[in-house]
Structure 1
Amino acid sequence: MSDVTIYAPSPILTVTVEDHPSGNEVHVHAGGQGVWQARMLRRLGMEVTLCAVLSGETGGVLRHLIEDEGLRLVSVAREGRGAAYVHDRRAGERREIVAEQGDPLGRHELDELYSVMIREGLETKLVVLSGPAGDDVLPAETYRRLASDLRTVGARVVVDLAGDRMDAAVAGGVDVLKVSHEELLDAGLISEPTEEEICAAMRSLRSRGAECVIVTRASDPSLFHDEHGVLEVTAPQLETTDTHGAGDSLTAGIVAGMSRGQSAREAVILGAAAGALNVTRHGLGTADAGAVAKLQELITTRIVDDGAEERAEGRSNRESTDDADTRAEGDE
């Protein structure tokens, strides 16, 4: 049985061209948020099941690439165009040549994949909900239903989503939400990325259904919020080769820690180490497990808020509700 199940509705076939002393070097891999998270989880020693829809010719290629990485693939096959991109990195920076999000998923594929996720979630009890590359691939409402149903059957749910998908998942209820400060800005949850505004946004997200929230802030320390308050998490600033996939690696590290029995607050240390190391490599969702383990020793944390005020407010709200209920009973 796998340790983790990942919802990856529309994986991406990635083609990257790099410079080589003998000429051009072409790399072909499976990609997309869920795949990058799964790849890092495998590097950290986790057994992973990836649930996905594979479309047309690109889907046939993706099947082999995903299985060759040692991932257990449970897929729904369909005709049509799949997601793919071609990047030119010969000059050092990524330059997008082609980017195709693929055809939107139909009702039949969505229903089949939904059933697969519930079945696999019942087995692993730890699920990651990731998003596709395109905005129109599937309805955001899918994430609310999945988060709610998976938690109903006893699975813990971790999401790394933004915009309408994030709102939908949080409304369904999640154990851990990972989001970036840029995504909070885009959603209008903050007007500027100050610590005060981000903490207020995290409190709001917790009140709406996210038990734990972690906000990445590019090169600045991440912020983590749970029932015990707010924690600042600082990782060493390593030389950056490619920032793509760092957030997915952080999410994977948190999930790996939770799979090993850690709380989300404890697991965020492993996540920070995995994310910090990913930027030193060209491959997305890659890092050496031994290096990640050692780097954890250099992660530092600082208590920003011990949560006392929020807990007191929660008690006050409960007492007000109890008093109102008592008065209502007396009026009967």
Structure 2
Amino acid sequence: MPDVTIFAPSPLLTVTVEGDSSGTDLHLHAGGQGVWQSRMLQTLGCDVTICSVLTGESGRVVRHLLEDDGVTVHAVQREGRGAAYVHDRRSGERVEIVELPGDPLSRHELDELYTITVREAMTADVVLLSGPVGESVLPDDVYRRLAADLTAAGRTVIVDLAGGRLAAALEGGVRLAKVSESELEPSDAARERSADELIAAATRLRDRGARSVVVTRAGHPSLLVDGDVVSTVRGPVMEEVDASGAGDSFTAALAAALADGEALHDAVALAAAAGALNVTRHGLGTGDSEAIRRLRSQVEITRVGGEHGAQLSPDDLAARLEVDER
């Protein structure tokens, strides 16, 4: 089976209260971006290794939960306050009760985590760099160094990051960057962007250090920039139950397919199917392998460009994209 190593610096313990007229349930799970990605990777048949720092009582519980799920864990164990949240979903909506970002990592802990990640990445088919919950858990520059060192070592590096962490990873150089539309320009996230702005923003990410870029867009086709070729990715439209975790499922399916040696377009199609199925479920990063692979046939990837490979101007590209969205 393909092997994927995930850099997940600070997984969290999730406590969710659910219930209906028959009673109330309490659910404990390991969580965080890298953990949710690991679930989808396992669903799609990958061996998964997580490299992280596990903190205090919550960290010890997280380790057991991950290992019980079949994830290989290589972690720096420390005392302190670990990342965790308590959510109440009895109303049908997620209500945040408590959210704890966890203690920042010390220089020594970062050194140990970095070494563990490099060691495990050397035998992985794909390395996925994910982010922690808190903004101050670790310096952004760790992502630049990891991306640079792993790419130089011939590893396939995929990132699903935003802001300073994304900028740092791009400076190091990555095979593929996945970003949501709202994360392209966080300071202007509320404004709806035109098609030409999206293409220009994705192209800038490519120019800053990603060989390929995927921009996911809720309710609209995703955008793929692979070298000089721009394509739209239209996935199946499903009735939404909970959109949480759909982006992580998308990224994990990308990693799973590329680790298995699939071409980029086939990987993006699988990712679109995984993200679409995830919104029909309450579990973050969950799905069914066979359902996802069958849904892949419903994904349409359309190149936005001129005939015989000729490249269009940004205005023509934008016009083609907007026609596709209709």
Partner of 1:281: 281
- Cα distance, 1:230 vs structure 2: 0.9
Q: 2:8·2:51 contact (CA, 8 Å) conserved in 1?
A: yes
Partner of 2:268: 268
SS of the counterpart of 2:240? coil
Alignment partners' CA distance in 2, 1:168 and 1:26: 38
Alignment partners' CA distance in 2, 1:31 and 1:2: 23
Alignment partners' CA distance in 1, 2:275 and 2:256: 13
Partner of 1:198: 198
Once the two structures are superposed, the pairs formed by residues 167-316 of structure 1 within 5 Å of their partners are 167-186=167-186, 192-305=192-305, 308-309=310-311
Structure having the higher Rg: 1
Once the two structures are superposed, the pairs formed by residues 112-191 of structure 1 within 5 Å of their partners are 112-186=112-186
Q: Unaligned regions of 5+ residues in structure 2, if any?
A: 314-326
Larger deviation: 184-193 or 120-129? 184-193
Partner of 1:59: 59
Partner AA of 1:80 in structure 2:
G
SS of the counterpart of 1:37? helix
Residues 150, 187 of structure 1: alpha-carbon distance in 2 compared, 3 angstrom cutoff: farther
- Cα distance, 1:264 vs structure 2: 2.3
List per-residue Cα deviations over 1:164-191 (Å, max 9, x = no partner).
Answer: 0000000000100000110113156996
Partner AA of 1:78 in structure 2:
R
Q: 2:2·2:256 contact (CA, 8 Å) conserved in 1?
A: no
TM-score normalised per structure 1 = 0.90
Query: Where does structure 1 differ by over 6 angstroms across 4 or more consecutive aligned residues?
Result: none
Q: 2:9·2:131 contact (CA, 8 Å) conserved in 1?
A: yes
Residues 288, 63 of structure 1: alpha-carbon distance in 2 compared, 3 angstrom cutoff: same
SS of the counterpart of 2:14? strand
Alignment partners' CA distance in 1, 2:166 and 2:175: 13
SS of the counterpart of 2:62? helix
Alignment partners' CA distance in 1, 2:235 and 2:21: 34
Number of aligned residue pairs:
311
Partner AA of 2:37 in structure 1:
Q
Alignment partners' CA distance in 2, 1:176 and 1:218: 20
Partner of 2:101: 101
- Percent identity over the alignment? 55
- Cα distance, 1:21 vs structure 2: 3.7
- Cα distance, 1:263 vs structure 2: 2.6
Q: Unaligned regions of 5+ residues in structure 1, if any?
A: 312-332
Partner of 2:13: 13
Larger deviation: 50-59 or 188-197? 188-197
Alignment partners' CA distance in 1, 2:212 and 2:197: 17
Partner of 2:322: none
Q: 1:184·1:190 contact (CA, 8 Å) conserved in 2?
A: no
- Cα distance, 1:304 vs structure 2: 1.8
Q: 2:233·2:299 contact (CA, 8 Å) conserved in 1?
A: yes
List per-residue Cα deviations over 1:92-143 (Å, max 9, x = no partner).
Answer: 0100000000000111111001001111111114100000011101000100
